[in-house]
Structure 1
């Protein structure tokens, strides 16, 4: 088994339509184009030998590397330290268009020698369409063209006039290799351009630095709109930039992660494609972004949600008027397939692309969607008359369909159950519909909505409560606990100091929490239709912090939060889960985790301020 970098040994760059992962060894080993959910160009993260990469690193056999973001930007700097000198690779993607989908995307890789001397080796080995589309390679004086039947990419050299040192490429089986020797103060590099078969052009170093300056200015101007001034500003601003990087600007859709098939257990089968927009994640992000003052992004996500509501149809195989997830452009073709020719990250097969859970019935998404509409309304992002009619349609559907088994928030593949969390969020959908109608005097069947909302409340209290565990349970036919229910006080279903809730929190603390990290549930006690186990779920840990803070357990909440911050990678990024070793596993970085971090920090800030601490 070849060596794979750790999942958390990566940084993320992007241009608001797609993104790339850069490892600490200078390798771009994941990049899809022209969109997040397009086939890969570089995919070594999922198959070291056959996935493809673009690597820039010292030729020296021994080197140390460090990574950092250029302050307040999404520009990534990978520094290499050797006995002969210090060098760095500066990676970024210029933002081409914030509103229009484009076919061409650029990755700039500036290669610098900072001190002494350093020789860099460059290897560019694209593998179009997950390695299924062959290509021809054409070398010119100014760069290289990689051309497949449907996909193309150019490599444009960044160098000074009459400098031939970066033009001597060796072609090997369609890949290109080169070396460049630099002295202190010298800069050369590459500009990779997908969606273009040429012409290749030579780029001056000064022009490349202008692109750097423009990209840095874009991110700093965007971040300056943040209104957060709390205790964890650096972490929250990095989370906000990360969420922005995972937003498909032409539609406003937020992908759950820019990666696919990274395992929840090394060697396991829980390897899902997260390059899509979940209604749940989009809904939560409205609340988080508004909490930091990013109203434009929240409005764009709200618009994305409203578009899905406008398209609502009951022809979704019984899963309701909303799909649980969509492609970034709002389409619903997410057919799942397996890449049999790829071995998976560190041998974690199967490699899934597409997502077979797309047709599931998950009742909670209606509460999350309605809650985001309600929160947006409170911040002055109003719903039109047409939008209100579609909102009423959603609430009416929930009123008539909430009392049925479903697959649940965790997308289990072990059959439908009467999940307590699904019922909880149906209560939220009806409650927020009632509040919106009442606040604005809009027409609605309020008597029916009140009746169904109260019926859900009573059912949860009677059947969602486990007298044995003295806690709210995962579903009505089990006594298993579920950390999704940490949102019960957050959405206002129960007060955070209610004895039933404090008892539930104590039970979760005993069963699901290990040294501040939180599991979703115990898969051994609640079979989910899949083999293997998983790590602690990072979003649940941050939700646990939120619940502790609301319950007045401020010391415990703060210690738990601070501990969780130590599990971030060297750049402040989080994947989906944390393994027993502390290694990050699952798709990376995960939007849900960064959303939950923002929410937990804002809640904890507020409670600490009130307590004068």
Structure 2
């Protein structure tokens, strides 16, 4: 596990105040210096210095309460740490999503146990409780805490009512109760505490969403102990269902636990990431809101979960599709196609994008955005990802219903009519539509998997029409997607530009992994887009994407590369590339979207896409190694 000193934050020290962050503490931790906790409804990022830098109460896409990761001064935070110079280390309680941050000082050793209890669909699920238990495990240590919420992304003021160990933060749309087993003091609209613990002593802070139906409830030391044990038991019970017994069990299981954290239990939605606007490049504009359900990401996530034996998560996502995406009765007359590329976690279709100019962005990386304008893009690849996941769900989970099959048939009919349209592509470029090869590939997958499903189950299908379209796509890719100049398949038709999404060609079973044309493409990708096992999506200079600045290597592509090498029989290369990728994980085994030039993680964190690709790469590499 990585250790971190109080000097890990980048930038100048912000405010100084009673119980607050040390005056010499820099303003921003590296993105990777965080752990994630959650309750299958919302999530929080906890820094290695003990500060909660990001928290949206009740829902992943709710306005933030703590957002100092996007603005150290105006975003709000929950600081909690040893009040003396100390080294800090962070780890997950084994086989759980309970996060432990330990402080090592001359006077002793203490730790913070951060977790959010997971409850069922009862009224108690509306409480949305976050518990921070502080324990001195050796010697004696002083601690400091400062709780400074900033509601609605820091735009809405609140009032503070402090009385007898309880603070009520009251804003028009959200009311939070903070209870504490140590004394609290007011400082304007914030509260702080300085306290000392001896060996074996503990203190508890608990934040609850409250309203007329959910009253404040004190969290005593004994109750915190019960909640801790129940939360540990929940996560261990869930993980025990995993079928993975391979070489990289710890990393695969951490990825599975992370994907589960990104599930919104009330609807079965699976989000792409729990954060917004963490930059792909410091100071750049590639900052997006990922707290929504991408059909592609969620479908791939279902594949990863099914691989490990977690069929309930796949079934919950099927429910989301049926109830909110109209999978049973898709509107094939909609101008943008029967499916949007993304939806809200409650199934809403409208996700207007806007900027928050009052927030400076992570390390000055403006703009901070909420909502996502890409919702209106045409991305044809989503149909292949979805139908493939439904095919696998029928194979490994539960047989699809007749209504589901009617919906799938309608989607495939639409794909047969529309596969040759130009679109924005898998990378959501804002540089205009093109005839992207990956989109063609996944349209082929949609038709091929549907035909396979129809044959396996004896389901009614227009197989003559579907087969004709499938074969037309294959021939089109082989003729116009191949460049004699590059001796490789290319990003879009009649071009000479490479793209890492092509790594999916053998993974999707479109081409043999040892086909000479594919092996030539794999070599070309290795020469042009791979750097020490890390893979760039494409070259934005050669293929402008409508955005300024550069980006790092894309971690999902790096794991696709591992899998492509594996399937090509280049096992030693694949294993080395995989082991190298594991060194780029953070101290907890988590990945953001991208990795920068110095090995730093960038983009929204943690990223579902990356973790599901890790699971798939590990599974297939294990199988080849025997």
- TM-score under structure 2 length normalisation: 0.94
Q: Which of the residues 303, 306, 309 maps onto 1:287?
A: 303
Q: Within 2, Cα distance between the matches of 1:480 and 1:39? A: 40
Superposition map of 1:317-336 within 5 A: 318-336=335-353
* Root mean square deviation of aligned Cα: 1.4
For residues 14-35 of structure 1, give each alpha carbon's deviation from its aligned partner in whole angstroms, at most 9, with x where no partner exists.
Answer: 0011110000010001001210
Q: Which of the residues 367, 388, 400 maps onto 2:405?
A: 388
Q: Within 2, Cα distance between the matches of 1:196 and 1:12? A: 26
Q: Within 2, Cα distance between the matches of 1:443 and 1:99? A: 41
Match in the other structure for 1:448: 465
Q: Which of the residues 183, 194, 208 maps onto 2:198?
A: 183
Contact 1:259–1:588 under 8 Å retained in 2? yes
Determine whether 1:23 maps to 2:39. no
Structure 1 unaligned blocks of 5 or more: 160-165
Determine whether 1:44 maps to 2:63. no
Q: Within 2, Cα distance between the matches of 1:493 and 1:93? A: 43
Match in the other structure for 1:162: none
Superposition map of 1:176-325 within 5 A: 176-196=191-211, 199-307=215-323, 308=325, 309-310=327-328, 312-314=330-332, 316=334, 318-325=335-342
Match in the other structure for 2:380: 363
Task: Using the TM superposition, give the Cα deviation of residue 295 of structure 1 relative to its aligned residue in structure 2, in angstroms.
Answer: 1.2
Match in the other structure for 2:145: 122
For residues 76-123 of structure 1, give each alpha carbon's deviation from its aligned partner in whole angstroms, at most 9, with x where no partner exists.
Answer: 000011111111110000002268894420100001111111111110
Contact 2:208–2:216 under 8 Å retained in 1? no
Q: Which of the residues 133, 136, 139 maps onto 1:110?
A: 133
Q: Within 2, Cα distance between the matches of 1:301 and 1:12? A: 22
Match in the other structure for 1:139: 162
Residue 506 of structure 2 aligns to a residue in which SS?
Answer: coil
Q: Within 1, Cα distance between the matches of 2:217 and 2:395? A: 51
- Deviation larger for 106-115 or 377-386: 377-386
Contact 1:34–1:102 under 8 Å retained in 2? no
Contact 1:100–1:250 under 8 Å retained in 2? no
Q: Within 1, Cα distance between the matches of 2:124 and 2:495? A: 47
Q: Within 2, Cα distance between the matches of 1:154 and 1:121? A: 19
Task: Using the TM superposition, give the Cα deviation of residue 490 of structure 1 relative to its aligned residue in structure 2, in angstroms.
Answer: 1.0
Contact 1:121–1:179 under 8 Å retained in 2? yes
Q: 1:323 to 1:53 in 2, by over 3 A?
A: same
Residue 620 of structure 2 aligns to a residue in which SS?
Answer: helix
Q: Which of the residues 381, 385, 400 maps onto 2:417?
A: 400
Residue 447 of structure 2 aligns to a residue in which SS?
Answer: helix
Residue 112 of structure 1 aligns to a residue in which SS?
Answer: strand
Q: Within 1, Cα distance between the matches of 2:218 and 2:537? A: 52
Residue 410 of structure 1 aligns to a residue in which SS?
Answer: coil
Match in the other structure for 1:163: none
Task: Using the TM superposition, give the Cα deviation of residue 226 of structure 1 relative to its aligned residue in structure 2, in angstroms.
Answer: 0.5
- Deviation larger for 472-481 or 45-54: 472-481
Match in the other structure for 1:556: 573
Match in the other structure for 2:24: none
For residues 344-382 of structure 1, give each alpha carbon's deviation from its aligned partner in whole angstroms, at most 9, with x where no partner exists.
Answer: 000000001100000100000001111011111111421
Match in the other structure for 2:17: none
Q: Within 2, Cα distance between the matches of 1:100 and 1:285? A: 29
Residue 196 of structure 2 aligns to a residue in which SS?
Answer: strand
Q: Which of the residues 43, 56, 63 maps onto 1:32?
A: 56
Q: Within 1, Cα distance between the matches of 2:177 and 2:312? A: 34
Residue 432 of structure 1 aligns to a residue in which SS?
Answer: helix
Determine whether 1:148 maps to 2:171. yes
Q: Within 1, Cα distance between the matches of 2:124 and 2:134? A: 29
Q: Which of the residues 593, 598, 604 maps onto 2:621?
A: 604
Task: Using the TM superposition, give the Cα deviation of residue 50 of structure 1 relative to its aligned residue in structure 2, in angstroms.
Answer: 0.2
- Deviation larger for 368-377 or 169-178: 169-178
Task: Using the TM superposition, give the Cα deviation of residue 312 of structure 1 relative to its aligned residue in structure 2, in angstroms.
Answer: 2.6
Contact 2:415–2:443 under 8 Å retained in 1? yes
Superposition map of 1:379-528 within 5 A: 379-528=396-545
Contact 1:117–1:181 under 8 Å retained in 2? yes
Residue 488 of structure 1 aligns to a residue in which SS?
Answer: helix
Residue 508 of structure 1 aligns to a residue in which SS?
Answer: helix
Determine whether 1:89 maps to 2:116. no
Q: Within 1, Cα distance between the matches of 2:120 and 2:540? A: 44
Q: Within 2, Cα distance between the matches of 1:476 and 1:572? A: 38
Structure 2 unaligned blocks of 5 or more: 1-10, 13-26
Task: Using the TM superposition, give the Cα deviation of residue 299 of structure 1 relative to its aligned residue in structure 2, in angstroms.
Answer: 1.9
Task: Using the TM superposition, give the Cα deviation of residue 478 of structure 1 relative to its aligned residue in structure 2, in angstroms.
Answer: 2.5
- Deviation larger for 210-219 or 195-204: 195-204
Q: Within 1, Cα distance between the matches of 2:491 and 2:408? A: 28
Residue 310 of structure 1 aligns to a residue in which SS?
Answer: coil
